[in-house]
Each structure stands twice: as structure tokens, then as C-alpha cells.
Amino acid sequence: MLQGKAHAALISAPGSGQGKSMVTAALARLHRNAGRTVRVFKHGPDYLDPMVQEVASGQPVYQLHPWMTGEHECRWRLAKAAQEVDVILVEGSMGLFDGSPSSADLAILAGIPALPVIDAWGMAQTFGAVAQGLANYHPDLTIHEVIANRIGSPGHSKLLNESMPEGIALLGAIPRHDAMKIPDRHLGLVQASELSGLDAQLDAAAKVLEEAGLGRLPKEVSLSADAPTPAPDYLRGVRIAIAKDDAFAFIYRANLDVLEEMGAALHFFSPLNDSTLPECDALWLPGGYPELHAARFSANQPMREAISAHHRAGKPILAECGGLMSCVEQLVDGEGTGHTMMGLLPGTAKMAGKLTALGLQSLHSQRGELRGHTYHHSLLETAMQPLARTRKLAGSEAEPIYREGALIASYFHGYFPSAPKLVADIFTGQPIHLAE
């Protein structure tokens, strides 16, 4: 049994776009700069926010989601963190009660209070009503205090503070400030690696929060959970090459952990910059932004040939989302320009200019249920017939799973710890036996 105590809060909001990601990052940096060890988690399937949170906290960031990662894993990771750090911050997703399971569901499950960030722009006394509504909506959810974001003046802050209902405090009121802004694009925040001066911005944002009165620690909570059973060594001795650069970057830390737990040796490479693959038995092409770097990847003929040779040799490849887009014949970017890809699979991936698929999904097999999600702005035009399809939570069919030799490709992003044996079969080129 793991047991620990830490100051903890789930940072949420009434809806998307309220500023909770940057507030979470600034809070993490504020407490880190004060000499505290901070661990940030992210509710739900998200790759981009955790990149910024890792820079802010200086600690690895893991996803927590009662369905995708499982309730037990949520409790275990939080209890383990409580043994190791001073402060735990969980960044919520969407609005506090949005989705199933929602950020509120995670807070209730974990036994930590929610700390809503409310955009106060254009709002006065109604701020208190919003806070009261969030606090009283679910009887099992604890909210001690809230944060006002994007206030206009000290007078505005005074009005908000006076509007607070009994039992709920205003932790602080954050003024509009350039340090609290972070750019985004069609899949979410810009990747942390692409942001020059991010550390300096986070320090500046932390100072803004400190001056706004947000330096007080959240409530201390006690957290406990049983440690999970380690995954068997299904991949002992298997060398897996993993693409990782600005075009291929959507990787859950937990996925890397479980591959190593199963005995795999991991070797990272850049499809954009390298000309050869590391010596490997299997290859993982994760999601990312290949559409933004399609010309560079297309021009890197030695790398395209190295991956093609790996495929021709019958060695396993897992291609997820952006990885799938790099494996087809052509990628048409957002400007309508076509780029030659590897041609391991027939078809063309075209940017659609809008969201084309979103949601939690799973692949049901006799080797386990691989849970995960889909989120993309492109469409695949292909004559290929899928080997299988994922299922939405409601049970209907969703993303196709394609197989060509030992290549498995799909828009679906899997959370590997949910089905270690199935993942091991993919990376060793074994058949996928679907559940009946």
C-alpha cells in the first residue's frame, strides 16, 4: 500500500478557453521557484499541455483518466506522487463537469479539491454566482476557493471578491498580462520545444501569479493506493526505434514506461534530421504534426528509404495518426500542396481545415482492450480495407485499423498500459486476434 500526503488541487474551469493551462503552468513554476517539488498531471488524452507543464514543473507529466488509464492507475500515480513531492496539480480538461468521466469525476475519485479558474472578463457580481454553481453542482466534489483570470483592474478584483458566496474564497485575481498568453494551433498548444523563451515566460507568469496573491499552498490531502502488478516481460530483448522530433512527438510517458517494463530497449531518432534508423527490431511512428514538416520529411530520402527497407524486411511498425499520414503515398498540407510520403500504404492524407474526428475509443482483441482516443484534422483517401475498427464508448465502430505485412497503422492513439500483451504482439509482428 502506497500512502502519502501532499498539497493538491485539480485546476479546472467552467469551460474551455478560460486559461487553466497557463494558470496551471504558472502555479507549478511559482511553487517550484519557491523551492517546492511539484508534480503536474493532466486529465484526459492530451499530449501538448503536458509538454508545457513538464517545462514548468521540471518533472515528468502523466495522464490521469478514470476510463482511459483506469481508476486504479489514477489513484496509484497520485499516491506515489504524494510520497515524493510537496505539491500536486492536476490540469483538468474542458469544463469541470464536461465529458464522461469529467475532471470533476477524477477529483472525486482521487479525493482532491477542485480549484476552478474563471475568466472574469466582462463579469462582475455574476462571478460569485458561477463559483457557487460550480461548488454546489455535485455533492461529492470539494471546492474551497477559486481563481479569477483576466481581470481589468484592482477595482474589478474588489468587486469579484465581494461577490464570493460564504464558504468559498477568492484565492487570487490574475490581471491580463502577456506572460499569461501561449500560442496554439489546430491540435492545441504549440509544442513546448517550438517556443523560444518559454522558461523566461513561465518565470514572468509565476511572478504575475505571486503578485496576484496565488502563492498560498492548496489544501493538504492524504492519498493511498495499492501498487499495480508489473507487466510481464513480453518484449525482453526487443529493440524499438521511436520517432521523436517536431513532426512526431505525441507520446505518452506511460507508453514508454510499459515498453521498458516489458523488457524493450528504446532508441529515439528524428525522421526529419537523421538519415538512418537506429539498429532495431521494431519501429514506432507516433502522432504529431507531419503536415507542418511534410516538405522536410519528403526531402529526407535516406530516412524514407531506411524506413521502407525496415518494412520490406518484414519488421514491425506501429504508425499512429501522424505516423499513418507519413506511411501513405501522399500528404496534402493545409495550403493544398502535395508531398511525397513513403508509400508503404496506398492512399492520400489530406488536411481538411476542420476537426474530422474526436473522442475516446478502444480496440477490442483477445489479448486485451487497448484504450485510447482519436483527434485529427485530416482525412485519408484509400482503397484499403481495414483489418479492424476501434469502438466508441457507445459501442459503435470508429477508426479503421490497417495492416500491411507487419505494419499496423491507424488514426487511433493507444494507451499501452491498458493492453500490454496486445501492444507486445504489435511490436513483435504477431497476428491481432479480434474479440468476438
Q: Which residues are catalytic?
A: 321
Question: Could you give the CA distance from residue 378 to residue 381 in angstroms, rounded to a whole number?
Answer: 10
Question: Could you give the CA distance from residue 391 to residue 169 in angstroms, rounded to a whole number?
Answer: 43
Question: Could you give the CA distance from residue 87 to residue 100 in angstroms, rounded to a whole number?
Answer: 27
Q: How far is CA 282 from the centre of its chain?
A: 24
Q: Which of 144, 123, 103, 118 is nearest to 10 (CA)?
A: 103
Which residues lie closer than 8 Å to 372 by C-beta, 6 or more apart?
45, 68, 360, 361, 362, 363, 390, 412, 413, 414, 415, 418
Which residues lie closer than 8 Å to 155 by C-beta, 6 or more apart?
none
Q: Which three cell numbers stand for residue 70?
A: 483506469
Which residues lie closer than 8 Å to 35 by C-beta, 6 or more apart?
none
Question: Could you give the CA distance from residue 32 to residue 418 in angstroms, rounded to a whole number?
Answer: 32
Parallel/antiparallel/unpaired status of strands 317-320 and 407-410: parallel
Question: Could you give the CA distance from residue 419 to residue 412 in angstroms, rounded to a whole number?
Answer: 14
Whether the CA torsion 319, 323, 328, 334 is positive or negative: it is: positive
Which residues lie closer than 8 Å to 354 by C-beta, 6 or more apart?
377
Given a contact cutoff of 8 angstroms between Cβ atoms, the answer to whether 426 and 419 are in contact is no
Distance between start and end Cα atoms, the chain = 37
